[in-house]
């Protein structure tokens, strides 16, 4: 999906920059704790579960399931004209990530537990934003 307009500035920082570079390459990655095998999101230099610092980066599968959703009926940013839908997704790797749902919505209004797949909205200057589509639609 091509998106017009200015890319909203992501939060910067050493670890966030690495995550955003992966997103811009269309392959989001996160640090994973070597001790407890949990993904660390947002990225951190220390596992929030066991406080270990050995956190090699791995790409995400892109799969997840909807745990919550809402529809915005008001435009807050010109890049996101209303109405648009935002989903909270439990990634297959564990963390919950919030982003937009693109494409068709569930036909029967049963959202919770539906499988989604990460996709990337393309903005200007090569920037991308991770979003989701229903897995059945991809
Ligand atoms: Zn850990």
pLDDT for 2 equals: 57
Mean pLDDT, all residues of the chain: 91
CA of 38 to the centre of ligand 1 (A): 6
Fold of 61-138: OB fold (Dihydrolipoamide Acetyltransferase, E2P) (2.40.50)
pLDDT for 42 equals: 93
Beta carbons within 10 angstroms of residue 96's beta carbon: 12
Q: How far is CA 3 from CA 6, 9, 61, 76, 94, in A?
A: 9, 15, 24, 16, 28
CA of 46 to the centre of ligand 1 (A): 8
CA of 71 to the centre of ligand 1 (A): 34
Boundaries of CATH 2.40.50.840 in the chain?
61-138
pLDDT digits 0-9 by tens, 101-130: 999 999 888 999 999 999 999 987 788 999
CA of 106 to the centre of ligand 1 (A): 35
Segment 1-15 mean pLDDT = 67
pLDDT digits 0-9 by tens, 58-99: 999 999 999 999 999 999 888 788 999 999 999 999 999 999
CA distance 14 to 99: 22
Q: Which of 106, 97, 107 is nearest to 60 (CA)?
A: 97
Segment 38-44 mean pLDDT = 95
């Amino acid at each position: 999906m091509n998106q017009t307009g200015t890319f909203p500035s992501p939060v910067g920082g050493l670890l966030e920059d690495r995550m955003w570079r992966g997103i811009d390459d269309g392959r989001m990655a996160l640090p994973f704790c070597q001790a407890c095998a949990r993904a660390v999101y947002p990225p951190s230099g220390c596992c929030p579960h066991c406080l270990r610092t050995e956190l090699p980066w791995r790409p995400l599968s892109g799969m997840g399931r909807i745990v919550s959703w809402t529809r915005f009926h008001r435009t807050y940013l010109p890049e996101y004209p209303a109405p648009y839908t935002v989903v909270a997704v439990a990634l297959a790797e564990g963390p919950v990530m919030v982003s937009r749902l693109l494409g068709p919505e569930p036909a029967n209004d049963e959202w919770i537990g539906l499988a989604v797949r990460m996709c990337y909205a393309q903005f200007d200057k090569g920037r991308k934003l991770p979003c989701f589509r229903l897995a059945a639609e991809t």
